[in-house]
Amino acid sequence: MKTIKIGLMCFFAFGLLVCGCAVTPEKPKGKAVLSIDSNEAVAIMKEKDSSIQKFFDKSYGYAVLPKVFKGAFVAGGAYGKGEVYEQNQMVGYCDMTQATLGFSFGGEFFREIVFFRDKEDLDKFKSGEFTFSAQVTGVVLKAGAAAKADYKAGMAVFIAADSGLMVDASLGGQKFSYESKVILKKAE
């Protein structure tokens, strides 16, 4: 009983931490670092599996989350920030939060790319709060995996593990927020 209470306290503390995070990096240096990390994540994904190139070539847009941290002790959570591209042009920023419940223990870092088949799918993502259900799953990227992958519900999700160890048999979903790169200031 005590371990469940500790696990729940950790989960809620993680939730409070994530709620205080902004979608868009606040300083130019933060934006530059995120851009470098996103480009590196794309290069690593292409290096792990060159067949992912077909998604870059044919997708209308994609979101790159270069550093996502996932941690759990029974209940778990994940958080990451990224950039959103429309027809290979960076158009905005996104963040992802994830909550899981089930048998989970440990922590890991990973990279994630979400491809959008067409403008309608990307617009749905950009329209505000966007949630993946537990049915939309990511393909763990290794040589040849992208060649067999296809879109589900207008999206294709690829994940590349970076470091850490996670035992996970849980259920959950990912929630995304989007903010345009161009923010118009109101006239005073």
Instruction: For 61-121, give the DSSP string.
Output: EEEEEEEEEEEEEEEEEEEEEEEEEETTEEEEEEEEEEEEEEEEEEEEEEEEEEEESSHHH
Q: Which of 187, 180, 116, 184 is nearest to 153 (CA)?
A: 116
Asked if residue 20 has pLDDT above 60, the reply is no
Asked if residue 94 has pLDDT above 80, the reply is yes
Q: What pLDDT band is residue 142 in, cutting at 50, 70 and 90?
A: low
The residue-averaged pLDDT of 163-187 equals 67
What are the angstrom distances between the C-alpha of 3 and each of 9, 16, 163? 10, 20, 26
SS3 of 59, please? coil
Sequence ranges of the domains in the chain: 2-180
As a whole number of angstroms, the distance between CA 137 and CA 159 comes to 10
Q: Which of 157, 165, 181 is nearest to 59 (CA)?
A: 157
As a whole number of angstroms, the distance between CA 174 and CA 21 comes to 16
Tell me, what's the pLDDT at 182? 75
Strands 139-140 and 155-180: parallel
Q: Output the pTM of the full model.
A: 0.77
Average pLDDT, the chain: 78
